[in-house]
Structure formats: C-alpha cells, structure tokens
Amino acid sequence: MQEVIKVEQLTKSYGKLHAVENISLSVDRGMVFGLLGANGAGKSTTIECILGTKKADTGTIRILGADPFKDRKKLFERVGVQFQESSYQEQITVAELCRVTASLYKEAADPFALLARFGIADKKNSPVKDLSGGQKQRLFIVLALIPDPEVVFLDELTTGLDAKARREVWKILSDLKEKGLTIFLTSHFMDEVEALCDGICILKRGKIVFYGTVSEAIEKSPYEKFEDAYLWYTDEEEQANENI
C-alpha cells in the first residue's frame, strides 16, 4: 500500500500559541482520512502545513513522496484542494469559474460532468455569488476535483448541505475512493466520519488525543456511540476533572 501523505512531528506556533504540536500521521492510497477536533484545535493549520501554504516550524511532510513546500509546482497537478471561500470575480458564472480552473491543469477532468454528478449542472450559467450556501459548497468540491487529482483535501466537507445532498456527496466520494482517490477531510459531523473514514486523528488544542479507526476510538472510550466517544476525547471539562 503506497503512503500518499506522511507527516512526522509537525509543530507550528503563532507567536506564543502552539497551534499544532508534534503531529505525526500517515495516509495510504485509496484511504479516506479524517482530521477531527473542535474549533481552533489546529486542523486548518495542519492542512495548510501539509499543503505547503504555511511553513511548519519543525517536522517532515511528504505528499506523494514530495516536499509540499519545495515541490509545490510538481504537486499542483496531482493534489486537489477544496477551499471554504474561493476568490473569484464578482460576476463570474459557475461555467466560467470551472473553465478557468480546468485551464490551469494539463489533464483536467470534465467540469460539466462533475457539475452534473454533484447536481448543480442547471446552475452553470448563474453567477457564483447567487448560489445558495449548499450549492456553493458543492461547487467548491467540484473545483477540487477538476485537476483529476490523486489526493484531495476537503475542509469541512458538507457544511451547509441538506441531508439528501450530504448523502449524495458521500456516495460520490465513496465511488471516487473505490477508483483509488485518496481523501483527506475535516468534518464536524460524526455520522459523516463514521460513514466515510478509514482512519481518523482527533486533535485537542493542537495535540493528538486519538489516532486510529472509528471502531478503535469507540472501543477505547467508555461509550458505544462514536459521537459520544468523540465528545469524550475532546471534552474540556471531563479531561480537566481527570487531572484533579
């Protein structure tokens, strides 16, 4: 099994704040990996360091065997990224944004097939700014998949999507995974994590508090449901009480 993402001892501080401390993780090809944690736990910082858009203070990071900070150009064609907010011209339409994005890659996927797959083909002539929150979110997943990447980073995957759209996105991602796509995601929805993730890492104030599979996370907690186990791993009060 080929290792697609490897992070060893990643540390990143903002001034005195240790945003991420000693994070190590490994993601194999065709795996869906979930990076979890409360707001401010350090997920975005970790992803930005993995992508090379932020420089880690210390640690080693490899994506597809390359150093993302030094080899960004080389990785650009092979890695997809979903942004929460993309910067685009005020009046640009969905079709134009997709075409512009596709033009950046040598071997782009067909953006219109992707729009159809994500149920927003009828919006192709609408200005992006007029899309609903959920439609925009789906568009951003489409943009991340346009490079036809080997690995894709999806930050807060289905935030803003209704229940049906979430299920549809899960199905599409499961199909892409079957074809060998490696998926690195963050999510605040534990049902989604249970449905999709082969491996997870739970962060609490920048440190790993659990690393393994969803079923291991449940087993090592006093709970039977994953959401309860997740809250137990991340709960401030509970952990504070344990230290008394």
Ligand X SMILES: Nc1ncnc2c1ncn2[C@@H]1O[C@H](COP(=O)(O)OP(=O)(O)OP(=O)(O)O)[C@@H](O)[C@H]1O
Which residues lie near ligand X (CB under 6 A)? Answer: 14, 17, 19, 37, 39-45
Give every strand in the sheet of 58-63, ordered side by side: 17-28, 3-14, 58-63
Q: What are phi and psi of 120, to 5 degrees?
A: -130, 25
Rounded Cα–Cα distance for residues 75 and 50 (Å)? 12
- The number of residues making up the chain comes to 244
DSSP state of 85: S
Supply the minimum distance, in Å, between the C-beta of residue 40 and ligand X: 4
Q: Which residues contact 10 (CB under 8 A, 6 or more apart)?
A: 20, 22, 23, 24, 46, 49, 50, 56, 58, 59, 60, 61
* Nearer of residues 14 and 83 to ligand X, judged by Cβ: 14
Contact between 78 and 87 under an 8 Å Cβ cutoff? The reply is no
Least Å from the CB of residue 129 to ligand X = 23
Shortest distance (Å) from residue 43 CB to ligand X: 3
Least separation in angstroms between CB 204 and ligand X: 10
Q: Please list, in sequence order, all residues whose beta carbon lies within 8 angstroms of the beta carbon of residue 40, skipping any fewer than 6 positions away.
A: 205
CB of 220 vs ligand X, minimal distance in Å = 22
Q: What DSSP character marks residue 160? A: T
Cβ distance to ligand X smaller for residue 19 or 31: 19
